[in-house]
Structure 1
Amino acid sequence: MRIALMVTCLVDGLFPDVGRATVAVLRRLGHVVEVPDGQTCCGQMHINTGYGPAAVGVVRHHVEAFAATDVVVAPSASCVGSVRHQHAALARQAGDTALAAAAEALAARTYELSELLVDVLGVTDVGAYYPHRVTWHPTCHSLRVLGVGDRPRRLLEAVEGLQLVDLPDAESCCGFGGTFALKNAAVSAAMLDDKLRRIAATGAERCASGDASCLMQIGGGLARSGSPTRPVHLAEILAATR
């Protein structure tokens, strides 16, 4: 299968190893991965902060960049959530029915990594080896926007050497929420403190998640607190081998 990688801004700018790991996993499974050169931001930042009209052009560019693709994957539930639930609606609000139709078609073939692996490719064991004690933080967008359910856990449970430990109150937010962390810094910090305490209680060596945004928030908190636990993206675990 030919699969196009939607890199996402955070992965491209701050977590390039997550993009490389996504490509490595898919290539190991025998698929051809392409990275469309024209892609930029999906527009989620603009839409979520009230700049809808300004985001229409960003959405149009995104649709054009991936127009020739058969299947699109992103290592981010947040960005896939925007593609699937915001793009077409925004285009309709702007009165651009052609863009709305194109956005809907692209959304139908765009998947978060665990969705693609489990639902489309029918795989849970990707041949990974990761000898660490790991706890899983399910992100808000993966849970409440995409509804990925237990797909990430099924992938993790199939990883050789990995010990998966439950995170108490796992479905609580880490406090990032995009610009929420900037506009409501005190509340965000309190939410993060709660999350860090729960991670510490697991005794995990790694805190894994499927969104670089949450891992940036959690990873920063872990580092500042001197915790030995390290953040890791699902793709990085699945790409690891002996």
Structure 2
Amino acid sequence: MSEAVNPKPRVALFVTCLADLYRPSVGFAAIKLLEAAGCTVEVPRAQTCCGQPAYNSGDRATARALAEGLIASFSAYDYIVAPSGSCAGMLRRHMPGLFDQDPDLRGRVESLAAKCWELTSFLTDVMRFEGLPVRLDATATYHDSCAGLRELGVKAQPRALLAKVEGLTMVEMAEPEICCGFGGTFCVKYPDISARMAGDKVADAAATGADLLLAGDLGCLLNMAGKLSREARTAGARPVAVRHVVEVLAGMHHDLPPIGMARD
């Protein structure tokens, strides 16, 4: 997954709903990394949800209406980059299918979709970014989100960037590719199954001995952080710290508490 890069490409950051509402630092970290990689970054103010919740629920009309707004907001940019494999997967892989019956728009949507990237993949595969000079003395493990891994092939890219972080030791889970149980609307439709999957995932992470759990999708991170926090309270222990990978790569881990934990 690679392509020739334009000098100083104009990049639109797709912030994502969860980052906007729960973890704005993810958006700021993404901007810092993209600018360091040589991009001109803009955040279109008219952007909305990528449409995935509606799409997964079978509400194609709402998903298409959101997509039409995104076409208007993002078509002028060289690339659209999201700090989320889930949102990027929706934009790149599923959005064009919403316009199968509309040949006039289908071409524009396909062109837009081809410019959509998950952040770590864009940094490594397009920009050939080598990382910022940051340090984190910790041991971390990485969770591969379902959409990023299976729809976009995101696996080696975040690990390659994390390998550049001075002082950081990476250890793999026994099953890093297994779903955490969030799955967007899956956790609402099947809460008992979801909770069991989340328990298995955080147990796998804890078994590594890592003190930091990283991933590239905030939905997964919020789900795992919540499960870790609840289990830690029951056991009277401090949970494994949870962070979005871009917060570490941008060197912002010193400035804010882990996901799901209050600042000490």
Give the TM-score band, short-chain normalised. Answer: over 0.9
1:110, CA displacement in angstroms?
A: 1.1
Q: Residue type matched to 1:233 in 2?
A: H
Task: Confirm or deny: 8 A CA contact 2:212 2:241 kept in the other structure.
Answer: yes
CA contact (8 A) 2:99 2:105 kept: yes
Aligned counterparts of 1:55 and 1:173: Cα–Cα separation in 2: 24
Q: CA separation in 2, counterparts of 1:22 and 1:66? A: 17
Q: Paired residue for 2:199, among 186, 193, 210?
A: 193
Query: Do structure 1's residue 217 and structure 2's residue 228 form an aligned pair?
Result: no
- SS of structure 2 residue aligned to 1:132: strand
Distance 1:185 1:134 in 2: 28
Matches within 5 A, 1:155-234: 155-226=161-232, 227-234=238-245
Which of the numbers 27, 46, 51 marks the counterpart of 1:19?
27
Give the secondary-structure state (helix, strand or coil) at the position aligned to 2:173: coil
* Contact 2:37/2:127 (<8 A) preserved: no
- What is the rounded CA distance, in whole Å, between the counterparts of 1:213 and 1:115 in structure 2? 18
CA distance in 2, matches of 1:110, 1:123: 17
Structure 2 equivalent of residue 136 of structure 1: 142
Counterpart amino acid of residue 163 in structure 2: E
Of 53, 57, 67, which residue of structure 2 is paired with 1:49? 57
2:247 equivalent in structure 1: 236
Structure 1 residues without counterparts, runs of 5 or longer:
none
**2: CA distance, partners of 1:66 / 1:173:** 30
**What SS is found at the alignment partner of 2:75?**
coil
Q: Deviations over 1:42-95 (max 9, x none)?
A: 111111110012221111001111021111110000001001111111111xx2
Taking structure 2 as the reference length, what is the TM-score of the superposition? 0.87
Tell me by how many angstroms 1:31 deviates.
Answer: 2.6
C-alpha distance after superposition, 1:94-134 (max 9, x if no partner) = x2222221111111111101111111101233323222111
**In 2, Cα distance between the equivalents of 1:179 and 1:122?**
35
Distance 1:102 1:214, change over 3 A: same
Q: How many residues align?
A: 240
1:32 to 40, 45, 70: 40
CA RMSD of aligned residues (A): 1.4
Separation (CA, whole Å) in 1 of partners of 2:175 and 2:142: 11
Is this contact kept in 1: 2:14–2:47, CA < 8 A?
yes
Task: Decide whether the 8 Å contact of 2:136 with 2:167 is kept in 1.
Answer: yes
Instruction: Give the aligned partner of residue 107 of structure 2.
Output: 101
Q: Distance in 1 between matches of 2:114 and 2:212?
A: 33
Q: Secondary structure at the match of 1:130?
A: strand
Instruction: Provide runs of 4+ in structure 1 moved above 4 Å.
Output: none
TM-score normalised over the length of structure 1 = 0.95
The answer to whether the 8 Å contact 2:51/2:62 transfers is: no
User: In structure 2, what is the Cα distance between the partners aligned to 1:4 and 1:128?
Assistant: 25
For residue 116 of structure 1, the aligned residue among 122, 129, 134 is 122
- Alignment correspondent of 2:4: none
Q: Which runs of 5+ in 2 are unaligned?
A: 1-7, 233-237, 255-264
**What SS does the corresponding residue of 2:239 show, helix, strand or coil?**
coil
Q: Which of 152, 160, 179 in structure 2 is aligned with 1:154?
A: 160
Contact between 1:135 and 1:204, CA under 8 Å: does it hold in 2? yes
Matched residue type, 1:186:
D
> Equivalents in 2 of 1:163, 1:123: separation in Å?
20
